[in-house]
A and B are shown apart, each in its own frame.
Chain A
Amino acid sequence: MTLELAIFIIVAAVAIFSAAFMLVSRNAVHSALFLVTNFLCVAFFYLMLNAPFLGMIQVTVYAGAIMVLFMFVIMLLGAERLRDEEPRYPWLAPGAVALTTIFLVVAFVSIVRGNVGLLKPIPHQPQVRFVHAAPGAPAVDVYLNNEKMGSDLAYREPTEFTAVRAGDYNALVFPACTEADQSKCPDPIKSGTAPVVVNSIRLEPDTTTTVLITSTADQKLFLMTVPTDMGPLDSEDTLRLTAVNALPSGAPVSLIQLDPAKEYRADLTPEQRGRVVLVADLGATTSSGVSSAKTITLNKGDYLLAWQRGDERLMTLDTLTMKPKTHELLILAPEMVAGQTTPRLTSIRLKPVRTEEAFGSPQQIGQSLLSAFLLPFELVSLLLLVAMVGAIILTREEVVKRARQRLVVSPVVRRINRAVRNPSAESSAD
């Protein structure tokens, strides 16, 4: 019996009892108040079920607006003063209770034996993008099995994230075709050209992967998969940073954060300069045992970063502004400069990608409402407008009297009019 289960049982009991009291109460105002209690219990359940936005909507709209409207009408009609009377059909209440009990038993049995709890979350398709991080290699086209994922990818360029089916793929990299009109490019798979590099990649559902096209020391290309987690972050002010070492050889490097106030003062020793090691020990791509990519969580803000190997400063980056709820990717890669044979170092920073919103949060619901569910949203707004207009028209008093107009009146209408002119002294009650 965990605390969560105990709270659930208490709130469920309150909900059921308030619904029962609502049903048997003679006073309509009391019934409405019991129903408000029931709605508040349901709103609490929404909070337990990772639906905070719906919980607040339930309190605001259902308990706060709809029940207030009920109260207005109950007061207007004087329904709370309605008296008790003999039911017209005495078999109605026992019959209804019997039928609903049978239904409840059937529902209970089918829910318990239907194994609804075994249903697992639907896995989302894996997302993948490619980055060209190999110096000296020309612009490339990337194919996954037979599908073109990126065309004319130059050095430092990434593709966008694309969703593909989960499974094993052959990732093929071909030299980019340089036709001005992309549709005139021959299909390299069909024409049988040899790819520059082929690697098999396995893509699992619910993952997001960045594949780097990097090279070894002797200019052979290969593909490096870096998992980039786009899941929701716990806090609104943090972001994820993945640092990748794409150098083909050398000792492990680290990414450190420098304190701009202290870094360039000559009177401080290196230990006093307030450096923080963000990511330590990223091995070269060919070294086994030491991973080349690591992900950390940072707070938002401005960062002065540097790549360092041991005590040797490899390069210092310009000040980066890191925005919250994004995923940044920093790659330390070699770069070929025209006219030189040995590569120099460069740091590739990809455009930060926004991480996903938390489940059931207002941001996620807002995103869905304004993208995939925009049409139902607008239609429901129109429906509310029509309902407002209809309510006004239905309760309008007939002000205009048609004077001296003889209308043909049917006997039924005459009978109703006679009954209306003599309203019954008693009003009926439940």
Chain B
Amino acid sequence: MPAPSSIPVEYFVILSAVLFIMGVLGVLVRRNAIMIFMSIELMLNAANLALVGFARQWGEVGGQLIVFFVITVAAAEVAVGLALIVAIYKSKKTIDIDELHALEG
């Protein structure tokens, strides 16, 4: 059981919410596919920060283990997603998502 900290957990959760909001803004506003990917990573980090904050609050190491798995899955997702972007760029020569609407037919 970790010692109580002088920083209440609300501060960490509010910071996590702010970072998450900024990630959402990035996903909505940016048109470069790589920028959108980076904003998704920002959102994942914000969620991880909230998880670790609560894990410390409750003395539960399971929260940190969830973060461990989230980091690993994010790594796998980034690998596949960036490979997709490279493949799209090779065939379409653009990664502007406003141009990538060919699937709509």
Contact = CB atoms under 8 A, between A and B. Distances in A.
* A and B associate in one complex: yes
A428 B38 contact: no
Interface string B52-88: 1111111111101101110111111111101111110
A359 B34 contact: no
A79 B32 contact: yes
A23 B61 contact: no
Given A5-B7, A70-B38, A77-B95, A104 B68 contact: no
A54 B11 contact: no
A403 interface: no
Contacts of A39: 45
Contacts of A54: 52, 64, 67-68, 71
A61 interface: yes
Nearest to A65: B75
Nearest to B18: A16
Contacts, number: 250
A55 to B, nearest CB: 9
B87 A394 contact: yes
B16 to A, nearest CB: 9
Contacts of B73: 380, 383
Nearest to A373: B65
A359 B1 contact: yes
Contact of B56 (A49, A69, A392, A430): A49
A19 B74 CA distance: 18
B58 A387 contact: no
B25 A23 contact: yes
Contacts of B82: 69-70, 73, 391
24 contacts: A8-B7, A8-B11, A28-B34, A48-B5, A51-B67, A57-B71, A62-B45, A69-B82, A70-B37, A77-B86, A87-B31, A92-B29, A93-B29, A107-B21, A365-B61, A376-B69, A380-B69, A387-B80, A390-B83, A391-B83, A394-B80, A428-B31, A428-B95, A430-B32
Given A119-B57, A376-B69, 4 more contacts: A31-B38, A42-B45, A73-B86, A428-B96
User: Which 3 pairs of residues, A with B, have the shortest CB-CB distance?
Assistant: A428-B96, A387-B76, A121-B59
